[in-house]
Every structure is written in C-alpha cells, then in structure tokens.
Homo-oligomer: A and B are copies of this chain.
Amino acid sequence: METRKAEEIFKEFKEHSIAEFFKKNRQMLGYSGKVRSLVTVVHEYVTNSLDACEEGNILPDIEVRVKQIDEDRYNIVVIDNGPGIPRTFVGKALATILAGTKFHRYVQQRGQQGIGAAGCTLFAQITTGKQILVKSGTGTGKAYSCNIAIDTIKNKPIVANLVDIGDFKGLYVEGEFADVKYENSDHGIYEYLRRTALSNPHVQIKFIDPEGKESVFVRAVNVMPERPKPTKPHPLGLAVNDLLEFAQMSQSRKLSAFLVDTFARVTPNKVAELKEFAKTLDFEKDPRTLTWPEAEELIKAFESVKWIAPDASQIKPIGEEQIKVALKNILDPEFMNVVERKPAVFKGGVPFIVEAAVAFGGTAGKKTDEGYSGSILRFANRVPLLFDIGSCAITVAARDVQWKRYNIDIDTQPVSILVNVSSAHIPYSGVGKESIAQEEEIIDEIKLAVMEAARGVQRYVSGKLRLHDEENRYKTIMRYTKQLAQDLHEITGKDQKKLEISIEQLVAKNYPKVTEKELPKKEKEEEPEIEEEN
C-alpha cells in the first residue's frame, strides 16, 4: 500500500466555528438524553434570568411554562421581570456562542461563560428548525419582539421580524424543542425549580407544567441579597501566567503599586515583606515589563509570606438557616447538621466558600431494593446540579470521607449530603456546567466541610445504629433456633418443642437492650408455658 503525503492529507484542513462544533457535539452543552435536554433549556434560561434580575437590582419574579406539542416535542416559555436586553444586543446575547457580560469579570454569578442561551437557540434550531421568539422591554423606551437564530458557520446572530410591541418590562423567551421529554422526577424541571427556589429565598417562581398544573414557589425573603461585587484575586493560588496577565493590563507605573491595586490583601507592608523574599527583583519597575522569571520569583515570594484569608464579603453562600429550611422542605430529616467553611482560595487566586450539610432519616437517602443508600444534593452558586453526578468534585469528595469514623454507612443508610460551592469562578468540568472539576483544593475543602457536618450527626446516628444492630443480631440468632432445637433433640433426646422455647428464652435474655416492643413477634403461634428444666 502506498503512503500518503502530508500535502495531500492537509488538503482537507479546515477551521470551524464554535457554533459548528457544538452543533455536532450538542451533548457537551448538556443536550444528551431527552429528560436532561429539557431541563438544560430551563436551567439555562432561569439562571440567566436570575443573574439579570440581580444585576438590575430587581427581586426576581420568574415564570416557566412547559407545553407538550407532540411526542418528544415541547414548547418552553421563560419570563422574567429583569432589566431586559437592549435591542442592539439581543442577537449577540442570545445567538452568539461565547459572548456576554459575565465571562471576563470576577463576580459571583450563576452563568459565567456566555454559552447557555445561545446553546438553547442552537438546540431549538437543530431539533425543530424553529427560531426563538424574544420579547424584551428595558424600561427605557418601547419594548420589542423578534426572532433569533444562529448562523452556525460564522457563529453570528440572525435577527428577524424585529417589531415594536406595547408595554413590556423584562425578558420573554419562547422556543420549541424536540428530542426532549418532560418527567416528574428527581431529575425533572419541577425538582430543579423547587431546589432553585429553596436555595434562593428572594426569588419567586411560577411553574406551569405540561398538564396545565400551576405551582408557585413563593418568595420567602423580601429583601434583595446584597449584590456581589467583583472580587480581587488573592495572591495565594495565582499562577505565573495569571500574574503576568494582570501585570500586562496594569495602569500602575510601579510594580509595588500594581500589586497593592490588583490583588486582595496586598498592602505596602506586605510589599515590604515580599521584598525580603524576592531580593533581586526591582519593585520600582514598570509592571508591564515583568518577565516570566521575575513573575516566578514573585509567586515564590507570595508563597513564603503569611496572608490573611480572602475577603468573603463578595461571595454569597446559601446560609446556614436557609439550608436548614431547604433540607426540611426537601427531605424532612430526623436530624441534620449544617456547616459553612471559611473562604479558601482556588487556582488563579479565586476565593470560594463551601457549605455542607448531612441529614439523616425522613426521606433522606435513596430507597433501593435492599434498603437505602446515601444521596447527594449538589449546588454551585446556589444553582442545583442534577446531572453528571459521578464526575463531580462534590461526589468524589463526599465518597472519599471515611464514613465509618462517624458511624455512618452511606451505602445502606438513609443519609443525604448537601454541598454548595460558591465562587466568582466555578471550575465546571464541562460546558454544560453540571459538575465541578476534580481540583485538589476544592475536593479538600468539600471533604473538610462534609466531615465537619458528619461529626454533628454522628452521635445521633450511633444511637440509632446500636438499636438497629442489636435487633438484627437478635433476628439472626432467632432464625437458627428451630434448626438447633431439632439437632439438639437428636443429640439429647429431649423434647424438641421445649428445647426450642428454652433456646428462645436464653437468646432473649442475652439481648436485654432490645425493648419488648421492638422484638419481632412470632406469627400465628401461641407461646406455650415453659417447664423449667434443671
């Protein structure tokens, strides 16, 4: 067989737009599986609405309508009362992949990529050929409506039928999607919205399901949470490359001023300390001329100095009280314990906060054929994560805890573990944002949080367990009594029935901690009086 030359092979070389890429790999956006695909659409629109309302300082009022059109084909409407989208931006905001207001800023928001809404537009387009209907009123002029699609070859928006409409304030999006399915399960839209409402008590959500049933998740808190402000990166966790990029964009004339201006917790005093560790470095130089080896030296100095923990004020977790309310509502457990960790720092100097809870009993855990197994409720920036559980840092961390130490067995007990990770930049493992990447720093923090939460339920579970164990042992032994009585009868020649009763009494005497009430009763058999044998 003849070999082929590179020139011939490379005739087929092409560049592709990111829209073409996702068109061919829609599963990477979360569009795999019918049930998941439908939830993904709602998830993208609702997180966008929440972010928009909060950016506009408006208490979010969101309505989600799901209507079945045909088998595996649904119409979805999401309406919010947010600031809307200026008409010059509507195409790019909803039909260009990798465009938005969030990607380049260090602010804690639910969306962070500029992919979600454009992904929905793409998904509608490839499954039904339909454009997305948009209505928007910004409150500063006439509202408009239009249709939106993506030119996938160029990753550019197509805006059609742009017309003025009457009064409207907020954003209305409507799309038709096929290859999707509505399911009322733990992985369905209702559950997604319920969990969203529980972790965002300032939000009101109305949901109209395919059967026309209306559910309202009522706003529990009438105060707008303080809007997270952009956070400065913390010196710990910064890589050489991060430092150089910040330096290149700096407006400061001196390296020392740049450090104080750009990073959290860097004061002139700290700069003086840094000088001790980076002796050859000129702190008076223009930060834009910083070289890789110099930046490397600075990073080493960063690691040698003691730092105050990052400022948590700009990260808004769910909060202990609200987690308790949420767990009570979702699981109604017998017992629970909630923990909020101090902020930690991830790669790039990004601070993050982990909250964890362990709940026992009620509807906690998952019912299985053999009894129970533990379940995990995952959140990232208060957004419930319903899919990709296996690859998530939360799952890996929770499973890695030595549960035996806490007398808990997550394989057989009704235990639920809740974890919420909050940060200006969550390292999602995929574009679909359904799981957090397995980064060491994050796994470690989650583990510590879960362990702390587990410690709080340990005593309760231990008590439960002891009773359970004794009951089990008792039942096991009782199972043997009949066979034993028969065997003994053969050995000793004594009356089998009497032997059986004697053995049962002996066993019962040896397990006095199991209270009468809890002892299993023999069915349909009278307990005869017992002759004492000596």
B-contacting residues of A (Cβ < 8 Å)? 1-7, 9-10, 12-18, 20-21, 24-25, 27-28, 32-34, 36, 52, 55-58, 83-86, 89, 92-93, 96, 98-101, 103-105, 113-114, 125-129, 138-140, 179, 224, 239-241, 244, 292, 388-392, 395, 425, 427-431, 435, 437-440, 477, 480, 484, 487-488, 490-494, 499, 502-503, 506, 533-534
A12 to B128, CA, bound (A): 33
Are B492 and A533 closer than 8 Å at their CB atoms? yes
Are A18 and B18 closer than 8 Å at their CB atoms? yes
A7 to B86, CA, bound (A): 6
Indicate whether A83 sits within 8 Å of B6 (C-beta atoms), given known contacts A241-B125, A241-B129: yes
Are A5 and B140 closer than 8 Å at their CB atoms? yes
> Which B residues are in CB contact (< 8 Å) with A13?
89, 92-93, 99-101
Closest to A99 in B: B15
A291 to B32, CA, bound (A): 26
> Which B residues are in CB contact (< 8 Å) with A502?
491
A370 to B281, CA, bound (A): 55
Are B98 and A428 closer than 8 Å at their CB atoms? no
Are A492 and B490 closer than 8 Å at their CB atoms? no
Are A239 and B33 closer than 8 Å at their CB atoms? no
Are A391 and B435 closer than 8 Å at their CB atoms? yes
Are A431 and B503 closer than 8 Å at their CB atoms? no
Indicate whether A25 sits within 8 Å of B427 (C-beta atoms), given known contacts A98-B15, A389-B390: yes
Are A16 and B98 closer than 8 Å at their CB atoms? yes
> Which B residues are in CB contact (< 8 Å) with A435?
391
Are B127 and A2 closer than 8 Å at their CB atoms? no
Within 8 Å by CB of A5, from B34, B83, B113, lies B83
Indicate whether A16 sits within 8 Å of B104 (C-beta atoms), given known contacts A6-B140, A10-B85, A503-B491: yes
List of 3 A-B pairs having minimum Cβ-Cβ separation, nearest first: A390-B390, A27-B437, A391-B391
A179 to B391, CA, bound (A): 21
Indicate whether A6 sits within 8 Å of B506 (C-beta atoms), given known contacts A98-B15, A493-B534: no
Are A6 and B86 closer than 8 Å at their CB atoms? yes
> Which B residues are in CB contact (< 8 Å) with A7?
86, 138, 140
Closest to A4 in B: B56
Are A9 and B55 closer than 8 Å at their CB atoms? yes
> Which B residues are in CB contact (< 8 Å) with A20?
98, 103
Indicate whether A99 sits within 8 Å of B292 (C-beta atoms), given known contacts A85-B6, A440-B33, A506-B487: no
> Which B residues are in CB contact (< 8 Å) with A492?
488, 492, 494, 533
Are B4 and A239 closer than 8 Å at their CB atoms? no
Are A28 and B430 closer than 8 Å at their CB atoms? yes
Are B56 and A25 closer than 8 Å at their CB atoms? no
A6 to B83, CA, bound (A): 5
> Which B residues are in CB contact (< 8 Å) with A92?
13, 15
A105 to B11, CA, bound (A): 13
Closest to A492 in B: B492
> Which B residues are in CB contact (< 8 Å) with A6?
56, 83-86, 138-140
A127 to B438, CA, bound (A): 18
Closest to A348 in B: B24
> Which B residues are in CB contact (< 8 Å) with A241?
125-127, 129
Are A21 and B126 closer than 8 Å at their CB atoms? no
Most buried by B among A390, A428, A438: A390
Within 8 Å by CB of A28, from B27, B395, B428, lies B428
Q: What is the minimal beta-carbon distance from A413 to any residue of chain B, in angstroms?
A: 16
Within 8 Å by CB of A499, from B96, B440, B491, lies B491
A142 to B175, CA, bound (A): 56
Closest to A509 in B: B487
Offer 6 A-B interface pairs, CB within 8 angstroms, sorted by A: A15-B96, A32-B438, A33-B438, A33-B440, A430-B430, A487-B506
> Which B residues are in CB contact (< 8 Å) with A388?
391, 429
Q: What is the minimal beta-carbon distance from A85 to any residue of chain B, in angstroms?
A: 6
Within 8 Å by CB of A179, from B5, B85, B239, B430, lies B239
> Which B residues are in CB contact (< 8 Å) with A128?
240
A500 to B100, CA, bound (A): 80
Indicate whether A57 sits within 8 Å of B98 (C-beta atoms), given known contacts A241-B126, A429-B28, A439-B27: no
A455 to B505, CA, bound (A): 48
Are A55 and B4 closer than 8 Å at their CB atoms? yes
> Which B residues are in CB contact (< 8 Å) with A5?
56, 83, 138-140
